[in-house]
Amino acid sequence: MDIGNIVSFIIVMGCLLVAMTVHEFMHAYVGYKLGDTTARDEGRISLNPIRHMDLFTTVLLPAFTWVFLHVLILAAKPVPFNPNRVRYGDMGAALIAFAGPLSNLVLAVLTSLLMHGVDAYSFTGELLALFRQLNIALFVFNMIPIPPLDGSRVLYAFAPQPIREFMERIEPYGFFIVIALVMLGGLGGIVGNINQSLLQLMP
């Protein structure tokens, strides 16, 4: 990578780490408020990014995909929870799942409001625009109802039994399904359109 690519990688990774940390913190915090101390006991109610990083999915995977595929693919270490200790059953699990993406949407809205007082063509303005765009993308992507993405847990709370059983069958392969869809462009059009629509709705 040349210097420009290295700088771009660092900036994008920095933005994603902030957004990811808030996302995972909210999963852990809502789980704790709903009666499950699993995430708290593992130190995940934290705004320290290191607490939420995984060597492979948060460090090695994004470096590999940036260099060889020219895209940035990464994931945080999953926040653990014990469904038997969460209040409200499947609905409680859905609330824990939704808390992460919702935090990214809130960050996008707050960043959009902050941008009104900043020159759009300054470094700060462009950095804020990038941060807003990435948070919108994280919200939309994580709400895709494919395990292990958060949207699957939200859907699971409302889905009829046949769909639940199907989701349970594909869950062991879900990560690879998501990566394959991203690399093959199978999600690009739909996700891109939703991203753009939400961006236009920003205050």
Question: Cα–Cα distance between 169 and 146 in angstroms, integer?
Answer: 11
- Establish whether 24 is a catalytic residue: yes
What stretches of 34-122 show up as alpha helix (H) in DSSP?
Answer: 38-41, 61-68, 89-115
CB 135 within 8 A of CB 19: yes
* Residue of 54, 53, 73, 50 lying closest to 63 (CA atoms): 73
Asked if the peptide bond before residue 160 counts as cis, ω within 30 degrees of 0, the response is: no
The two three-digit tokens of residue 135, written as one number: 């948070």
* Own/partner long-range contacts of 80-86 (Cβ < 8 Å, ≥24 apart): 80/38, 80/39, 80/42, 80/44, 81/27, 81/31, 81/36, 81/38, 81/39, 82/36, 82/38, 85/35, 85/36, 85/37, 85/38, 86/31, 86/34, 86/35, 86/36
* Residue of 151, 23, 33 lying closest to 85 (CA atoms): 33
Q: Which residues are catalytic?
A: 24
